[in-house]
Amino acid sequence: MKIAHEAPLAIFDLVQEVTDYDYFLVHLFEENEKYLQKALESVKKNRHTILDNSIFELGHSFDADRFATWVERLKPTEYIIPDVLEDAENTVSKVKHWVETYDQIPGRTIGVVQGKSYEEIIWCYKEIAPLVDKIAFSFDYSCLLPKQPSLHMATIECEYMWGRVDLLHSLDFAGIIDRNKPHHLLGCFLPQEFEQYRALTWIDTLDTSNPVVHGINNIRYESHGLYTKVKTKLIDYMDADLDVVQGIDIMYNIKKFREFACG
């Protein structure tokens, strides 16, 4: 698995040195000129780049026409087609519209699987898989939570983590996953989740700011990982000045994260 960690501008270059590719949020291009320049520099250096439609940060996807304009300007290696949170039908509609309307835009397409249930997720997967170059799974589908809290789970973050682990392995076991197509994992609740995917060679990339955000808050990963998650989003720290201790904690977490994911 190739790993990317979003990071504040103050340590962007340091984090870039210890990650496999760069991941950018499109809405920040219109808010932060320094952030945009980092993205343009990344492409100029021939770094593998993925451009996200910012749905997690905005609560809705970036406008398709504006997103297409930014894809054409940046020319990322891959980009995530606008989708609709937990709405399989409208996500499929948006993917179909995109491939019909913007088929001349350079870069490999990533379609995100959405749905409110396992059945909707499976349907969405089957609909978009033939249309895109890569398929992505989110970390926080509501259907990942059991109807009744599990007595053996320590926190809700653990519920979500094991929910996605079960989802991906179940889809693979059922033959639904197209193993000939690369997949992407969007974010995470807990870093130790990725220990469970080492044998899944169809997972190509993952992105998460988890080790960075926890390092900013001076929380170091334990040997097992974490049981809870800081709720603050990375974008809230984008222009923050960080001290030496925060930097050390961030780099420690990044190293530990790679151990979880890659062994």
One-letter amino acid at 83 equals D
Kind and range of the H or E run holding 257: helix 244-262
Q: What is the set of domains in the chain, with CATH numbers?
A: 2-262 (3.20.20.105)
- Could you report the per-residue pLDDT of 238-251, keeping only the tens digit for each? 999 999 999 999 99
Assessment of whether the complete model's pTM goes beyond 0.85: yes
Query: How many residues does this entry show for the chain?
Result: 263
Q: Answer positive or negative: Cα dihedral of 235, 239, 244, 247.
A: positive
Q: How far is CA 96 from the centre of its chain?
A: 22
Which tokens sit at 8?
């504040």
What average pLDDT does the structure give for the chain? 96
Residue 152 reports pLDDT greater than 80? no
- Could you report the per-residue pLDDT of 158-215, keeping only the tens digit for each? 999 999 999 999 999 999 999 999 999 999 999 999 999 999 999 999 999 999 999 9
